[in-house]
Amino acid sequence: KAGVTQTPRYLIKTRGQQVTLSCSPISGHRSVSWYQQTPGQGLQFLFEYFSETQRNKGNFPGRFSGRQFSNSRSEMNVSTLELGDSALYLCASSLAGTSNEKLFFGSGTQLSVL
Amino acid sequence: DQQVKQNSPSLSVQEGRISILNCDYTNSMFDYFLWYKKYPAEGPTFLISISSIKDKNEDGRFTVFLNKSAKHLSLHIVPSQPGDSAVYFCAASASGTASKLTFGTGTRLQVTL
């Protein structure tokens, strides 16, 4: 069974640009969540999608958005990039994202903003 | 505020000995706790979890203990192996929101020969 797949693996952008990251969850998993990892802040929850609807949201500005498609694949978009957006962006999937489920993470997309 | 804390940024243990990694939390709503292992530039890998209705869970060399009154959990690795060297994250979630994990800052474990 294939794991969580994230593309691209690495990205370099400049300030002010926008970026789209992609995530394919494990087959059968309907909940997809996104996390940002930075050296200073650690792993922080961005948002979660289930059945094409955003179900939970973390404390990030509106420049960070996402969506989920009918096949559960998800994309995350960051607009007007800032230097501080440089981070490892991780996608995780689970069956339904409800109680007592473990999340399976992808390898992440390393974003560098210059 | 840091709702999940791992106060030891690093730990060094000899091969074959026990590794004990600690985690404290402040949010009483957390009822499910997980430990993840992570290598640089990779996603976290699930190790073991525990529900708040239990105080211990074992899986091979890994055991997690939960002390709800102290809001404290620990991960024991016995015996420690060089391949266990990685960063370990403690994470917690509240009922109904398993996908919204709150992570600790991690403990880097080094298992020496």
Residue B49 has pLDDT above 80, yes or no: yes
* B100–A45 C-beta distance less than 8 A: yes
Residue A70: the pLDDT is 96
Q: How far is A69 from chain B (nearest CA, A)?
A: 18
Pairing of strands B72-77, B45-51: unpaired
Write out chain B residues lying below 8 Å of A106, CB-based. 43
| Contact flag A102-B43 (C-beta cutoff 8 Å) | no
Residue with tokens 């961005």: A46
What does the pLDDT average to over B65-87?
A: 97
* Contact status of B57 with chain A (Cβ, < 8 Å): no
Q: Are B99 and A33 a contacting pair at CB < 8 A? A: yes
What's the whole-number mean pLDDT along residues A18-37? 96
pLDDT surpasses 90 at B111: yes
In the prediction, which pLDDT does A1 show? Answer: 66
Would you state the pLDDT for residue B99? 83
| pLDDT of amino acid B83 | 94
Better-scored residue on pLDDT, B106 or A42: B106
**SS3 sequence of chain B:** CCCEECCCCEEEEECCCCEEEEEEECCCCEEEEEEEEECCCCCCEEEEEEECCCCEEEECCEEEEEECCCCEEEEEECCCCHHHCEEEEEEEEECCCCCCCEECCCEEEEEEC
Please give the mean pLDDT across all residues of chain A. 94
Nearest CB to B100; choose among A56, A104, A110:
A56
What pLDDT does A71 receive? 94
Q: Which residue of B has its CA nearest to A55?
A: B97
A104: chain B residues, CB-CB within 8 Å: 46
